[in-house]
């Protein structure tokens, strides 16, 4: 028996960063995001020899451990260990023996929520195997709790919910970890147009998002007006983006992305840099009407909105800048699990 799962990565279209505490706790956050045909994958094969094997295929990293009720959190494949430890503690109450293989279609630190999406995929595989009574909100919240509380990894709340629910969602974030996911019923022709015009570009760089997020958090604690006002504006952009997509005002999307990016750069130092700014300005010269960094910033993936047929000249130009334009489709499905 093999238990498999996959969860989609996401792009944030507006409001990114307002899902991070303490901003979301004090003011309430809002984000509009969409999931892509890029996935975090997990496969579990039960064993009977008292061993646990964790194999991160994309990272070429594998470890073998004795089956115990708590695995050491020591920097080696801690995401899988964190999921296992929480499930044993909260649900199973006894050690398990298994092999788990994982693969993510984007590198860590690339801004598509890969780490959180992998936690959701691993958690989903265990839920399928052990028949745990967890719904979508339960899985997303548990994934958030494992990553942010158990493993002490900095970040927001959107990634776990996007990976679990899938599709185009307007998400609201409040105090006490309250999250409301509003799936948007977008007409198919508007989704096709959005997909046609959005260019996904990997800069061939990664970044440690925790440093940027920590500064963002510190700025809110310190009541730094420039940073807080930028987050207020980002939240407003998420409302405007929702309206544009639902009504099919596609020409507004590039402008909303651009305005959001201008505000996002004010949230914390390190969100942009000279290289990112150069790429962005080049994209505007070759057909993009707006764009942004995906995720916390500092590197990774960028998205650009290039209407009409301008995306083709934009793709040619971006390919000259040393990164990769990635083919994708927008997806409606979130976490998916099955047994072979």
DSSP structure string for 164-223? HH-SEEEEEE-STT-EEEEE----HHHHHHHHHHEEEEE-S----HHHHHHHHHHHHHTT
pTM for this one? 0.95
Known catalytic residues are 159
Pick the range with the lowest mean pLDDT from 49-58, 89-98, 174-183, 262-271.
262-271
pLDDT at residue 208, rounded to an integer: 62
Q: How confident is the model at residue 207 (pLDDT cuts 50, 70, 90)?
A: low
Looking at the domain that runs over 188-326, which CATH code has it been given?
Answer: 3.30.70.890
Q: What is the pLDDT of residues 287-302, one digit of tens each?
A: 999 999 988 777 889 9
267 or 49, which is more confident?
49
323 or 47, which is more confident?
47
Measured CA to CA, the distance from residue 69 to residue 52 in angstroms comes to 11
Q: What is the pLDDT of residues 112-159, one digit of tens each?
A: 999 999 999 999 999 999 999 999 999 999 999 999 999 999 889 999
Measured CA to CA, the distance from residue 192 to residue 82 in angstroms comes to 38
Contact (Cβ atoms closer than 8 angstroms) between residue 113 and residue 166: no
Instruction: Give domain limits for the chain.
Output: 3-185, 188-326
Q: What single string gives the DSSP state of each residue in 86-98? A: HHIIIII-S---E
Two tokens, residue 75? 């920097």
Handedness of CA 218, 223, 227, 233 (dihedral sign): positive
Q: Among 93, 154, 90, which Cα is nearest to 123's?
A: 90
Kind plus residue range of the DSSP H or E element containing 340 = none
Mean pLDDT of the chain: 94
272 or 290, which is more confident?
290
pLDDT for 206 beyond 90: no
Angle at 9 between CA 295 and CA 208, to 5 degrees: 35
pLDDT at residue 168, rounded to an integer: 98
Contact (Cβ atoms closer than 8 angstroms) between residue 197 and residue 306: yes
Measured CA to CA, the distance from residue 78 to residue 291 in angstroms comes to 33
Choose the CATH number for 3-185 among 3.40.800.10, 3.40.190.10, 3.30.230.10, 3.40.50.300.
Answer: 3.30.230.10
Two tokens, residue 116? 């959180």
Distance separating the N- and C-terminal Cα atoms of the chain = 6
């Amino acid at each position: 028996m093999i238990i498999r799962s996959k969860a989609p990565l996401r792009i944030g279209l507006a409001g990114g960063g307002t899902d991070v505490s303490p901003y979301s706790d004090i003011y309430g956050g809002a984000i509009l995001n969409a999931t892509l045909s890029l996935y975090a994958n997990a496969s579990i094969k039960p064993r009977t020899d008292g061993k646990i094997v964790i194999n991160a295929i994309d990272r070429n990293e594998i470890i073998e451990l004795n089956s115990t009720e708590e695995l050491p959190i020591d920097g080696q494949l801690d995401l899988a260990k964190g999921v296992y430890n929480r499930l044993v503690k909260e649900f199973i109450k006894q050690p398990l023996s298994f092999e788990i293989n994982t693969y993510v279609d984007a590198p860590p630190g690339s801004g598509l929520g890969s780490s959180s999406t992998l936690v959701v995929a691993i958690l989903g595989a265990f839920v399928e195997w052990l028949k745990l009574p967890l719904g979508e909100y339960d899985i997303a919240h548990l994934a958030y709790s494992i990553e942010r509380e158990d493993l002490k990894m900095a970040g927001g709340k959107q990634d776990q919910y996007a990976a679990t629910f899938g599709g185009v969602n307007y998400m609201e974030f409040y105090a006490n970890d309250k999250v409301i996911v509003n799936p948007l019923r977008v007409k198919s022709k508007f989704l096709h147009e959005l997909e046609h015009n959005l260019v996904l570009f990997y800069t061939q760089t990664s970044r440690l998002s925790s440093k940027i997020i920590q500064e963002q958090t510190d700025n809110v604690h310190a009541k730094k007006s420039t940073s807080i006002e930028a987050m207020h504006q980002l939240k407003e952009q998420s409302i405007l983006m929702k309206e544009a997509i639902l009504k099919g005002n596609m020409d507004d999307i590039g402008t909303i992305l651009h305005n959001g990016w201008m505000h996002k750069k004010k949230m914390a130092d390190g969100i942009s840099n000279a290289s990112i700014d150069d790429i962005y300005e080049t994209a505007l010269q070759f057909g993009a009407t707006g764009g942004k960094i995906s995720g916390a910033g500092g590197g990774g993936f960028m998205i650009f909105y290039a209407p009409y047929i301008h995306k083709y000249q934009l793709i040619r130009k971006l390919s000259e800048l040393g990164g990769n334009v990635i083919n994708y489709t927008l997806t409606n499905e979130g976490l998916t699990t099955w047994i072979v």
